[in-house]
Amino acid sequence: MPMFKRSMMILLLIAALAAGMTVYTLSQEEATALPLERAEALPEMAAAVTVYVSGAVVRPGVVTLTDGARVEQAVTACGGVLPTADMGAVNLAQLLKDGMQVRVPEKAGQGSASAVAAQTAGKDDRVNINTADEKALDALPGIGPAMAKRIVEYRTTNGAFQSLEELKKVRGIGEAKYEKLKDRVAL
């Protein structure tokens, strides 16, 4: 019988060890599952989109809005549109995507850009490179019709000029031509 007791003790010890391991394993699974459950219960952090708004807006620039925002919210964040804005060419309901550019064009055929450029030129004889049309730019020294067109294309593609020196990024405007222009243009 002593052999029977010893065998029984070993069996009970193995059963207790197995039960202990099972309890330990289950408690570890619950402990690792608990943070996931808590993470699912926490509200998701609001994702953001950053867009560049340019053209006929009060304050062109980069704005950051919550994910799911529309073009209308980006334009409003830039102070709204100028009276010269062509709102028929802008889809205000379009969803914003991170990194996109929203361009608000000016009304075509109404000379709005020429009028603004003329007003600027009348005040201090300088032409606003962000609002002038090709005709007003062509009147500048060293700028012909082709160069005026490149300036407008650069502005359309890249948005409003942020500094006068950015003019040097337009193909064909080097340091010498910039020096002739810098006192005749404004932002």
**Residue 150 contacts residue 170 (beta carbons within 8 Å):** yes
Higher pLDDT, 176 or 73: 73
Cα distances (angstroms) measured from residue 43 to each of 30, 68, 178: 22, 16, 54
Residue range 89-134, pLDDT digits in tens: 889 999 999 988 899 998 875 444 444 444 444 445 788 888 888 8
Nearest to 101 by CA among 137, 141, 57: 57
Residues whose CB falls within 8 Å of the CB of residue 52, separated by 6 or more in sequence, listed in order = 60, 61, 62, 100, 101, 102, 159
Higher pLDDT, 158 or 41: 158
Give residue 48's pLDDT. 92
Sign for the CA dihedral angle at 105, 106, 108, 113 comes to: negative
Give residue 1's pLDDT. 57
Give residue 29's pLDDT. 63
Residue that the structure tokens 């980069």 belong to: 62
pTM for the model:
0.39
Q: What is the mean pLDDT of residues 7-26?
A: 83
Please give the Cα distance from 143 to 26 (Å, whole number).
Answer: 79
3.40.190.10, 3.30.70.3150, 1.10.287.80, 1.10.150.320: CATH of 112-186: 1.10.150.320
Residue range 28-76, pLDDT digits in tens: 765 554 444 444 444 455 689 999 999 888 889 999 999 999 999 999 9
